């Protein structure tokens, strides 16, 4: 781990589209753990922000509306930890020199909400996953340092 950055963990949250789960994780890490995590998110095949993910995070008081979808190489930093938040990203995770890869597969809210008749009907899926990601992010620094 890099100790030259005030002992903050440089964490990349990686998913396929970098539109929902990884963005939520970055938002939570910045909002809740900026004292010990330098957070980023990216996707193996980024395709734009998900408006319902933005809405779900806003409901919880975290603004991710200015985030953008990107590939890991567009960030241009070395990571201590790469957290894959979906199975697809875990299976196709690129190599990150010196980084520990941690996999935590969260459900995909857009897939869960596919049959929803309205945004309001879709939102419970986004809220559940948002809250699960929050719980994970709250524990992340201690869990990684304990290993």
15 is catalytic: yes
Residue with tokens 């100790």: 3
How much is the pLDDT for 3? 44
Indicate which residue of 83, 86, 104, 140 is catalytic. Answer: 86
- How many CB atoms neighbour CB 141 within 10 A? 18
Indicate which residue of 9, 12, 15, 54 is catalytic. Answer: 15
Q: Sort 32 into a burial class: Cβ within 10 Å, 0-12 / 13-18 / 19+.
A: middle
36 is catalytic: no
DSSP H helices in the chain:
21-32, 51-59, 87-91, 109-112, 119-146
Architecture, CATH, for domain 9-146: 3-Layer(aba) Sandwich (3.40)
20 is catalytic: no
Q: pLDDT-based confidence at 124, cuts 50/70/90?
A: very high
- For residue range 17-49, what is the model confidence (pLDDT) as tens digits? 999 999 999 999 999 999 999 999 999 999 999
Indicate which residue of 32, 36, 75, 93 is catalytic. Answer: 93
One DSSP character per residue, 108-134 reads -HHHHTTT-SSHHHHHHHHHHHHHHHH
- For residue range 82-105, what is the model confidence (pLDDT) as tens digits? 999 988 877 777 778 889 999 998
Q: Distance (Å, rounded) from C-alpha 57 to C-alpha 23?
A: 10
Q: Distance (Å, rounded) from C-alpha 78 to C-alpha 62?
A: 26
Listed by start position, the domains of the chain span: 9-146
Q: How many CA atoms lie within 13 A of 71 on its CB side?
A: 7
């Amino acid at each position: 781990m890099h100790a030259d950055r005030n002992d903050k963990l440089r964490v990349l949250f990686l998913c396929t589209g970098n539109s929902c789960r990884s963005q939520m994780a970055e938002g939570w890490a910045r909002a809740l753990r900026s004292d010990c995590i330098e957070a980023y998110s990216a996707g193996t095949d980024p395709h734009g922000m998900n408006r319902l993910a933005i809405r779900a995070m806003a409901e919880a008081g975290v603004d991710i509306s200015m985030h953008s979808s990107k590939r890991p190489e567009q960030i241009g930093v070395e990571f201590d930890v790469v957290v894959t938040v979906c199975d697809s990203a875990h299976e196709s995770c690129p190599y990150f020199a010196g980084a520990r890869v941690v996999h935590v597969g969260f459900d995909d809210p857009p897939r869960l909400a596919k049959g929803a008749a309205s945004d309001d009907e879709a939102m419970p899926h986004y809220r559940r996953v948002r809250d699960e990601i929050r719980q994970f992010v709250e524990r992340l620094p201690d869990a990684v340092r304990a290993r």
